[in-house]
């Protein structure tokens, strides 16, 4: 990866941590001092996730049409920083601004990072990884250290300056809109084949989200274990793209999912097994992001937004109060995820070895 691209990626990853920390800090500050009931807080969380995740494909279409992903990133940072200045007695305003700001930031940042290393999964993995740490940090600050919220917001505003001057691919400065050509996925297939491939990859993402949000572990609220699990999730996302680019998307994506199955299936009774299990499972995230981008050439915003919509669908049962536990559920979910990922990546995995060096512009 060129040095200038690595510097840009580091800046965007740090911004991702700050943005997610702002959103989590604001949410848990409202829950702690905002005098809202548990039921109201649940509805607010559902609204936030709908705006922050389910709205991303629409935001992606707009970013693709306008061709200003860096502007979306800066506006997203400013909006999420602003919610920390809103009194917790206005929870709906906080949730709406946080959701819109989060969606803008993620789509804009996703476009830039996918464009930094085309046909590769490393950059999107490094971009999304710090979000897990940011969420944990925000939960702690919002609940226990409200005096830190203002410095957190100011730091998020300050990172807009390096973002504004960091180099990004020239082709992302203008409109990125293009035409979906399914023959990049299967040379002898028609449009329906491209639809099926894209659908299978999104199904794998939804199944993975189901496991993360529907299957709960009774020991995951202890601080020590929670920190370790967060780090395992972060490292899995950060390293998964590099490993997959080296050894092949399908081999690593499907292999990591299958390897995580026995570990996560037994983790409800043996907590230590969840650490390598979550590490392996999260290695697939950058692979699926890269694969969807391959399925939608020229539409990086829409391509980044669709997996986030799939994530929302996977977390929706948990958001509405459905909770399922048991080894059988872990096995079923991971089996669906591995199977759909294998079938979806069969026609795109070979593209992970392509490397297209593109110029950058300040």
User: In this predicted model, which residue has the larger pLDDT, 103 or 321?
Assistant: 103
For the chain, what are the domain ranges?
3-172, 182-354
Whole-angstrom distance, CA of residue 209 vs CA of residue 214: 8
pLDDT at position 197 is 84
Q: How far apart are CA 42 and CA 54, in angstroms?
A: 17
Q: What is the mean pLDDT of the chain?
A: 86
Q: With 50 as the cut, is the pLDDT of residue 33 above it?
A: yes
Q: From the CA atom positions of the chain, what is the Rg in Å?
A: 19
- Which are the contacts of 290, defined by CB distance < 8 A and separation ≥ 6? 114, 119, 120, 121, 124, 241, 244, 249, 352
Residue 17: predicted pLDDT? 98
Q: Under a CB-based contact definition with an 8 Å cutoff, are residues 275 and 232 in contact?
A: yes
Per-residue pLDDT averaged across 45-58, rounded?
96
Please tell me the class of the 182-354 domain: mainly alpha
Residue 190: pLDDT over 60: no
The 10 Å Cβ neighbour count of residue 162 is: 15
Q: What are phi and psi of 218, to 5 degrees?
A: -65, -15
Per-residue pLDDT at 357: 35
The answer on pLDDT for 360 being more than 50 is no
The first and second tokens of residue 97, run together, are: 């601004």
The first and second tokens of residue 131, run together, are 């979000």
* Greater pLDDT, 191 or 317: 317
Cβ pair 294, 197 in contact under 8 A: no
pLDDT at 254 > cutoff 80: yes
Query: Which token pair is 47?
Result: 């609204």
Residue 194, pLDDT score = 65
Confidence grade of residue 82 (pLDDT, cut at 50, 70, 90):
very high
pTM over 0.85? The answer is yes
Give, as one character, the DSSP assignment of residue 325.
Answer: -
Q: Give the model's confidence band at 193: pLDDT under 50 very low, under 70 low, under 90 confident, else very high.
A: low
Q: What percentage of the chain has pLDDT greater than the value 90?
A: 66
pLDDT tens per residue across span 141-155:
999 999 999 999 999
pLDDT at 243 exceeding the cut of 90: yes
User: Are 3-172 and 182-354 equal in CATH topology?
Assistant: yes
In which band, very low, low, confident or very high, does the pLDDT at 217 lie, cut at 50, 70 and 90?
A: low
CATH of domain 3-172: 1.20.1250.20
Least confident of 70-84, 144-158, 256-270: 256-270
* Alpha carbons 343 and 339: distance in angstroms, whole number: 6
Residue 85 has pLDDT above 90, yes or no: yes
Instruction: Give kind and range of the element (H or E) at residue 361.
Output: strand 360-361
Kindly indicate the confidence band of residue 36, based on its pLDDT and cuts at 50, 70 and 90.
confident
**Which carries the bigger pLDDT value, residue 306 or residue 323?**
306
pLDDT bracket for residue 353 (50, 70, 90):
very low
pLDDT value at 354 more than 60? no
Per-residue pLDDT for 40 more than 60?
A: yes
Across 193-198, average pLDDT: 76
Q: Which of 76, 77, 121, 64 is nearest to 289 (CA)?
A: 121
- Report the run of H or E that residue 169 belongs to, with start and end: strand 168-169
| Rounded distance between C-alpha atoms, residue 26 and residue 177, angstroms | 35
Measure the CA–CA gap between 303 and 292, rounded to whole angstroms. Answer: 6
């Amino acid at each position: 990866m060129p040095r200038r691209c690595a510097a840009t990626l580091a800046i965007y990853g740090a911004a991702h941590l700050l943005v997610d920390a702002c959103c989590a800090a604001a949410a848990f500050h409202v829950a702690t001092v905002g005098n809202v009931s548990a039921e109201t807080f649940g509805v607010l969380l559902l609204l936030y996730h709908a705006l922050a995740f389910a709205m991303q494909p629409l935001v992606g279409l707009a970013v693709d049409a306008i061709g200003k992903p860096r502007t979306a990133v800066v506006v997203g940072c400013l909006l999420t920083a602003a919610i920390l200045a809103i009194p917790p007695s206005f929870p709906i305003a906080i949730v709406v601004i946080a959701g819109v700001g989060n969606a803008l930031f993620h789509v804009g940042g996703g476009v830039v990072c996918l464009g930094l290393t085309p046909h590769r999964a490393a950059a999107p993995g490094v971009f999304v990884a710090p979000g897990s740490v940011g969420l944990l940090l925000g939960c702690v600050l919002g609940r226990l250290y409200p005096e830190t919220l203002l410095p957190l917001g100011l730091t998020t505003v300050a990172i807009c300056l390096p973002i504004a001057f960091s180099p990004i691919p020239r082709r992302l400065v203008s409109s990125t809109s293009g035409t979906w050509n399914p023959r990049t996925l299967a040379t002898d297939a028609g449009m329906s084949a491209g639809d099926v491939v894209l659908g299978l990859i999104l199904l794998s993402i939804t199944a993975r989200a189901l496991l993360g949000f529907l299957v709960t572990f009774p020991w995951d609220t202890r601080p020590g274990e929670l920190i370790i699990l967060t780090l395992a999730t972060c490292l899995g996302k950060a390293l998964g793209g590099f490993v997959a680019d080296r050894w092949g998307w399908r081999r690593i994506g499907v292999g990591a999912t299958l390897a995580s199955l026995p570990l996560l299936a037994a983790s409800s009774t043996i907590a230590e097994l969840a650490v390598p299990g979550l590490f392996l499972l999260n290695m697939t995230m950058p692979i699926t992001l890269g694969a969807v981008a391959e399925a939608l050439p020229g539409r990086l915003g829409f391509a980044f937004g669709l997996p986030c919509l799939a994530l929302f669908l996977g977390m929706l049962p948990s958001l509405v109060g459905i909770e399922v536990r048991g080894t059988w559920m872990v096995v079923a979910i991971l089996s669906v995820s591995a199977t759909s990922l294998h079938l979806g990546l069969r026609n795109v995995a070979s593209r992970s070895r392509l490397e297209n060096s593109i110029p950058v512009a300040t």
